[in-house]
Structure 1
Amino acid sequence: MKQIDKIIFINVVTTSIVSGVFNVFTGIHVKNLGYGESIVGQVLSISSLSIALGSMINAYLSSKMGFKKTISMGLVLMVIGILGVSFLRDPFLIKVSSGLMGVGYGFPFSSIGVLLIENSSEKDRVKVFSKNFVSQSLGTVFASYGAGRLIKTFGKIFAIEKSIPLVYILCVFIILIGFYPLKDLKISDKIKNSKNRDFFKGFKDVMSGEALKFIIYNTIIGFGAGMVIPFFSVYLKFSLNIDNEKVGIIMGLSQVGLVIGGLLVPYISKVLGRENTVVICQLLSIPFLISIAFPQGIFVLGVSFLLRSTLMNLNQPLIQNISLETVKYENRALMSSIVSMSSNVTRALSMIIAGYLMERVSYNFPYYITVVLYLIGTAVFYKSFKVEKPLRGGADE
């Protein structure tokens, strides 16, 4: 297995499959236990907040211990967290377990981008990030659809509230597979040498210039995303009365477009430029987000999910690439962690607000807020990273 493929494999196991199942079905699981949307929002927000915490811890520990050890620690914490969510019934303990899951996930999550960018040439970087993105999207399709089918099957045999925990147990075995490529993972000399850097001095580089502008943009988009994305499955299940299998299909369908988009990213960015691709795709996604808030039947809903997800996330390889190029290589782990923190802390806050609004006002209202925030975030990105030169050659590629 090649070095890049080992890194992508770890990402697929942790980011795509396990977190895909956890993110889609945890809200439904908590609702099945008899708790309301406010508790759902709190559980999901703690998970998101903990990802930010885990990312920051990883940035520090990886500078002292290396990525192999910190990723291993993260996988262990994910196992403990997902088992806790599976079997505990007390809301406080569920939140603690969700937090452990988030902290653990934050370790590999903030490491993968750094490992990819340091193990690829500038010429191949967009293609490498796109390959990672496509693999991740395929894993999420498998997770959403496969978990939905398994939950329906288990529901016929066991009590319905036990079906999701059984799928979580399968996720534990998948996490354990993530240890396999770690043993042969080679860390580049640049990353090894960066262990000697002053971790705290890196903040000055990250919290200034283009890096700071990117963090501001990412914070706005993260707040908007947290208002609706974690609640998509709950919205489908309890507002539109769609069964678990169809929820898994629709959520998986939304990822199919990501695979197509991920394959097209290198070519689209050459024509439009990386920055312009981000702006255009985010603006085009907004009408489909509005369509989800006003569903016209399950077919139109599925198409809207597909197109919104494709357009909004097609640019993720570009965004990740752009963010890490705003700082020197020795600060990329820290930048990756701060980007994660800025997104997940705001998502955590917006999840709590969205849960309250969905329970007290309507399921649709948070969508309006998200639309406004996406427009503001896109404007900030365009102003900060707009391409001044003609587009004839595309991006830097």
Structure 2
Amino acid sequence: MIKIKNYLHQYRRNGKLFLFNSFSSFFTMSAFSILLGIFLKEKQYGEAFVGSIMSIQIVAMGIGSLPSAFMLNRWGNKKSLIVSLSLIAIGGVGQVATDSEIMIIIYSIVYGLGFGIQFTVEPLFLVENSSPVERMSLFSLNFVLKNIAMMIGNFSTGYISDYLKQYMSSVEAIKWILIGCSIIALSGIYAVARIEEYEIVQTKSSTNFFTGYKNMMSSPVILYILYNALIGLGAGMVVPFFSIYLKYALHVDDMVVGSILSFAQLGTVLGGMLIPILVLKLGKPKTVVLCQILSIPFLLSIAFPQGLALVAVSFFMRSSLMNMAQPVLQNLSMDLVQKESRSSLSSFLALSNNILRGAGVYLGGMMMERFTYNTPYYFTVAMYFIGTILFMIIFMKDQLWGLRKQLQKQG
């Protein structure tokens, strides 16, 4: 924590205010990621409907990212973030305050649209409000704080849920927790309202919806979008179901579910702190490849549980390795295009990742209901492996070509 406090002094005011926004919104996300699925299951909805709601949320995040680029160029970061936080709060309250399936779906879309804007703004805002020297550490710190919020949210909501169940039903306890966390998201507006907005320069891409997307397209960008989509598809099959998997496949209490996921989030926080050191030693592309390849054995270990302790360790390692490279990926993606195309690329990456993640959630829910809770993990491993190969082709082509020639000589 001392290291984080020292880091904060070196950043611009806008960067610090955005960090507060990230913390509050991702605390809310953590509560919904762990409790919404359980809430719907407790209301006697099947895995397929739960998967559909999670899928709709994520698809809405992707769809929301498309107009976000246009919104950013016309309104700027500040207004876009205020709209984002308002939609998250409205959608969050609505999902648990209604008994109508149609209304749950509508509020899920609203909630997803809010986070879609948030994800599009994030990398662009961090690049624009940091110098090249501090950029990697700011991306890392933002990532660390988001995951601290997720860790605190996972840990606290599980315990609060079990405590409230002494005085009310499980459904009511989770309902009030999620309403409270939705209101917490609104606290980010206080920080966002104090952001100093730079003058918005109207460009051709900001007045024509499709021009920005057309200008950014190149072979490396297309391959990176495909890589991003494959990782989203694989993650969607398992990540949103972690709490359901632990509760209903391993038969543990909400408190234990929250503790394990909080423990896993701690791994992500620690990994985020280590990532600048790894980047200095290995470089950005090698760091990403190493983290993603090493995460695969632990993902398989979750699919073949050998006791609660080993599952907790596997969650810890998988979360640490697969997620700790996110700030590096955000930084690399913004370097693929010119400044005027960054908002378009950011929105398209959010679109491709979330649309495929949403499809993965739907497929994961179907597989869990028709086969076993373990089945989606095998497909996720395949997606991660193929995606990592694509990433190497984009960013490590020269090293791979050199290795190939070396092997040919030895042969």
Normalised TM-score (structure 1): 0.94
User: Where do 1:1-397 residues align within 5 Å?
Assistant: 2-14=13-25, 16-189=26-199, 192-194=200-202, 197=206, 198-386=208-396, 388=398
Matched residue SS, 1:193: coil
Q: Answer whether contact 2:60 2:116 (CA < 8 A) is retained.
A: yes
CA distance in 1 between partners of 2:29 and 2:334 (Å): 23
Q: Answer whether contact 1:217 1:381 (CA < 8 A) is retained.
A: yes
Structure 1 position 389, deviation (Å): 6.5
Structure 1 position 188, deviation (Å): 3.7
Corresponding letter in the other structure for 1:239: A
Structure 1 position 269, deviation (Å): 0.8
Q: Deviation per CA, 1:162-184, whole angstroms, max 9, x where unpaired?
A: 11111112113211211111121
Structure 1 position 90, deviation (Å): 2.1
Structure 1 position 212, deviation (Å): 1.6
Q: Answer whether contact 2:27 2:150 (CA < 8 A) is retained.
A: yes
CA distance in 2 between partners of 1:57 and 1:162 (Å): 36
CA distance in 2 between partners of 1:362 and 1:388 (Å): 42
CA distance in 2 between partners of 1:61 and 1:312 (Å): 31
Matched residue SS, 1:184: coil
Matched residue SS, 1:124: helix
**Residue 141 to residue 195, structure 1, CA distance change in 2 (3 Å):** farther
Structure 1 position 155, deviation (Å): 1.1
**Residue 119 to residue 194, structure 1, CA distance change in 2 (3 Å):** farther
CA distance in 2 between partners of 1:10 and 1:260 (Å): 21
Identity %: 36
**Residue 188 to residue 386, structure 1, CA distance change in 2 (3 Å):** farther
Q: Deviation per CA, 1:270-307, whole angstroms, max 9, x where unpaired?
A: 11110011111100000000010111111111110000
CA distance in 1 between partners of 2:321 and 2:69 (Å): 30
Instruction: List alignment gaps of at least 5 residues for structure 2.
Output: 1-11, 401-411
How many residue pairs align between the two structures? 387
More displaced stretch, 205-214 vs 314-323 = 205-214
CA distance in 2 between partners of 1:373 and 1:112 (Å): 25
More displaced stretch, 118-127 vs 305-314 = 118-127
Q: Deviation per CA, 1:159-213, whole angstroms, max 9, x where unpaired?
A: 1111111111211321121111112102345xx2256644421112333232222
Corresponding letter in the other structure for 2:265: Q
CA distance in 2 between partners of 1:72 and 1:122 (Å): 27
Partner of 1:393: none
Matched residue SS, 1:35: coil
CA distance in 1 between partners of 2:24 and 2:93 (Å): 17
Partner of 2:408: none
Normalised TM-score (structure 2): 0.91
Structure 1 position 46, deviation (Å): 0.2
CA distance in 2 between partners of 1:194 and 1:186 (Å): 18
CA distance in 1 between partners of 2:40 and 2:14 (Å): 39
Instruction: List alignment gaps of at least 5 residues for structure 1.
Output: 391-397
Structure 1 position 23, deviation (Å): 1.5
Q: Answer whether contact 2:90 2:107 (CA < 8 A) is retained.
A: yes
Structure 1 position 387, deviation (Å): 6.5
CA distance in 1 between partners of 2:39 and 2:273 (Å): 34
